[in-house]
Amino acid sequence: RSVKASPVKSHAITECYPIRRSSRKTKSLIKKELADEIINAVQSKYEGDLEIVEFKDKGRGVVAKRSFTRGEYVVEYAGDLISWHEAKSRESEYALDTSVGCYMYYFNARNTNYCIDATAESDRLGRLLNHSRRTPNCLTRLVWVPTLDNPNKELPHLVIVAKRDIDQGEELTYDYGDRDKSAVEVHPWLKS
């Protein structure tokens, strides 16, 4: 004798259980949010979490008014964005006056050599972070930021981010990366 099977009606799982959405963020979403925060900070020129302090042995420097977590935006190294050739010309000019320091940051972006010249005194604090070759708590990152007048046009900016967690009241430092023998002879503190 044969038994006839009754047809099975299939149901979508959503008929029995509600749809659940994860509230966790993907790595790519976290990375995008961090990039957007940096762009907003650069465009707004925000530096409210920093304070200029006079250090006995090294002059002005910058300390954190709050704690920073590793990878977090700290400040922009702001100045004139100029070509490598213009930078070399200005550097020669600055060398003629020993009372003027030189705050030039050379970098390459999208196969073009640039320089941020932050030599002129300004209210921007990134130029005042001191050097530490051995124990820097910050590092520089290159970011492309849309211009406010034309969102389709991007310019390179150098931002300083926390290399590790930074405590409130801690001096902010990064490695200037200058290993040129003649520069180290003139500025022995580049070794430290």
In a domain? residue 83: no
* Range(s) of the domain holding residue 180: 24-78+122-191
pLDDT tens for each residue of 134-189: 899 999 999 999 998 888 999 999 999 999 999 999 999 999 876 555 544 544 44
- Domain assignment present for residue 51? The answer is yes
Kindly state the average pLDDT of the residues 23-46.
88
Q: Residue 125, by phi and psi: left (phi above 0), alpha (psi -120 to 50) or beta?
A: alpha
**What pTM value is reported for the model?**
0.79
d(CA 42, CA 49): 14
CB-based contact 174:129 (threshold 8 Å): yes
Q: Residue 38 belongs to a domain with what CATH number?
A: 2.170.270.10
Q: What is the pLDDT of residue 100?
A: 79
Give the pair of three-digit tokens for residue 37: 């925060």
Does 143 fall in a domain? yes
Q: Is 146 part of a structural domain of the chain?
A: yes
H or E element: which one contains 77? strand 73-77
Q: What is the pLDDT of residue 184?
A: 47
Domain count, the chain: 1
pLDDT tens column, 45-102: 989 899 999 988 788 999 999 999 999 999 999 999 999 999 999 999 988 888 877 8
List, for residues 5-21, the tens digit of each pLDDT value.
666 676 666 666 666 66
Is 10 part of any domain?
no
**Residue among 85, 80, 25, 56 nearest 171 (CA):** 56
Within-domain flag for 177? yes
